[in-house]
Structure formats: C-alpha cells, structure tokens
Amino acid sequence: MSVIDDSLVVSTTEQTLAGAAVDRKRGKQATPKERGVISVADRRRPAVRVWMWVIQILIFVGLIVAGLGPLVWSAKASVSGSQAIISNPMGIFFTPNQWGNFATAWNGAQIGLDLGNTAFLAVGSTIATLFVSGTGAYLLSVLRPKWGPILNGAILATLFLPGIISLVPLYLTILKLPVIGVSLQNTFWAVWLPAGASAFNVIVLKNFFDSIPRELIEAAKIDGAGPIRVLTTVVLPLSRPIIGVVALLTVVASWKDYLWPMLVLTDPKLQPVSVALPTLAKGPTPFAVQMAAVFLTVIIPVVLFVVFQKQFLRGVGTAGGVKG
C-alpha cells in the first residue's frame, strides 16, 4: 500500500486523491496553516491581540450556547419530571434525575423500534446509494463506453431540476411501479431505492475515480484483471476516503429525512423516529417522556458526528467544492 501511496502523491496533482494519501500519512499531526488575513506581524500587535481574544471569546460563548445549549437542555429535560419542565424550564437543572423516562420512551412509546427502523433505513439507503452511484461512477469514469457521455449528461441534467417537480409522481411511482406493477408502499424499498438515484453522489464519486492514475488501472488490466477485479482491487481500495464521506453524508441525510418516509411508510411499525416523533408529540404521552424520545433521537447522530468529526467536516468541504 505504501508504494502505491508514494506513486500517487508524485503522479497526481489532483487534490482529492493525493490529499487523502497525505492525510493518512500525516496521521493526527496538525497541519501548519497558511497565513490568513492577519499576518504574523499583526498578531504581535497588542491591539490586534486584544481584539482577537475578545472576538474569540464572544464567538465561543455564542457557539456553545447555540450548538451545545439545546442539546444540554434536552439531555437534562429527558431525565426530569413533566411538571417541572413545563412550569420552570430553566430550573430543571436543579431537580433530581428521573431515569425512568428513558425506559418509558423506549418501550411504551416504541422509540426503540422506531430508532431501529431509522437505523435500518439509513443503512439500506447507504448501501443502495453506494452500489448504484459506485457502479455508475465506475462505468462513467473507468469503463467509458461510447454511450457514457449521454448517460452522464442525463444524470447531470437532473441536478438542475428542483426536486419538488418529481415529488408527487415519485409517490405515485411507489404506489404502483410502472411495467412491474408492484406497490412498494409500506416497504423499506420505498425509501432505499429512490435514495440510490442521487446524481450528486454519482458526480462526487466519478470526480474521485477520475483522479486515480490511469496507469494503475491499465497495469491491472494487463495483469489480466477483468472489470470487476479492477473495481474491487484497484479503484475501491484507493477510494476509501471518498466512499466514507458519501456513506456518512447519506446516513445523516437519511436520518434527517421526514417528508418522504412519512408519505410512503404509513404503517407505524415501519416508521422511522423522525416520522413517529411528531405523532408522539400530538398524543397523550407525558412531556418528559417526549423529551426523552427527542434526546434519544438526537444523541445518536451527535455521537456519530463527534466520533467521525474529521471525516464529516472534510466531507462537507469536499461536497461544497463539487457544488461550487
């Protein structure tokens, strides 16, 4: 692997692949940043220093309140009494903990089942996206058939159409698939399969595959590797970082989705937590149990994010670069 890495760094100027290889080598070491607006000399000036400190502290406090505040409050509310939360919501930090809320939410309000559905939907959507976009990007980037540009154009074109235009027809498609005539309503396929039709992910993956040096692929071909072997032994191992990014972004998007699963999954036993929560909030469930359910919903993606923070932030940056 290290040999390949070296050759990659030398042979490609494309930031994506080379950047990923360099990142892996550097490991956890911080990268020295280039200079920004403020020069080194500026930073030594007392006035600049004081201002930097003041702004830094103000923004830090603002970010803590905005980013962490709602989470902390929701955490404490989930173990407080309903009466206490409603009558004095800022005073709940001084009330004793009631751990029973979680058990009630998990079993009584079926949040456990709903969270399971959410996870199942997210994993399935990710697999569908990776399979469809992966094979598609491989086709367009490496196999390059004569009809590739037409397919590429047709996929690109969907990016320029707002998604809203196909909401209702897509719903009708799910109710009765044309030609086959099967209804996907109230099956997980209704969420998984449309997730695969993501032009954005095809383009992200294709751009990355394009940055893999053709010599590596040609060498594998000369050694007698067929298209599938080239994909699994050359392209996929080199593309691990971008596949991780696509997977992470798909999981999060699927976790956040609301309208689509609400439309196609009407059976409460199949609904993800995002669809079940508003129903729960309208029902007679005690407020504290609702808050416990909200907290359980929030904490899983937040923990995922904190663990994979670096990949997330890089991924969003990359995705933005593609969009731009």
Overall size of the chain counted in residues: 324
Residue 221 and residue 215: Cα distance in Å, rounded?
10
Nearer to other proteins, 7 or 301 (CB): 301
Instruction: Provide the residue type at 139 as one letter.
Output: L
Where do the H-state alpha helices sit in the chain? 2-11, 15-26, 40-44, 46-63, 69-77, 82-87, 100-103, 111-138, 148-159, 167-175, 189-196, 199-210, 214-222, 227-230, 236-238, 240-256, 259-264, 273-282, 287-307, 309-323
Nearer to other proteins, 21 or 134 (CB): 134
Min dist CB 266 to other proteins, Å, is 11
Nearer to other proteins, 3 or 41 (CB): 41
Min dist CB 3 to other proteins, Å, is 27
Nearer to other proteins, 21 or 312 (CB): 312
Residue 61: other Cβ atoms inside 10 A: 10
Contact indicator for 267, 186 with CB cutoff of 8 Å: yes
Min dist CB 292 to other proteins, Å, is 11
Q: What single-letter DSSP state applies at residue 141?
A: I
Nearer to other proteins, 103 or 154 (CB): 154
Nearer to other proteins, 6 or 59 (CB): 59
**What is the torsional sign of CA 175, 180, 181, 182?**
negative
Min dist CB 277 to other proteins, Å, is 5
Min dist CB 61 to other proteins, Å, is 11
Residue of 250, 232, 238 lying closest to 210 (CA atoms):
238
Min dist CB 287 to other proteins, Å, is 8
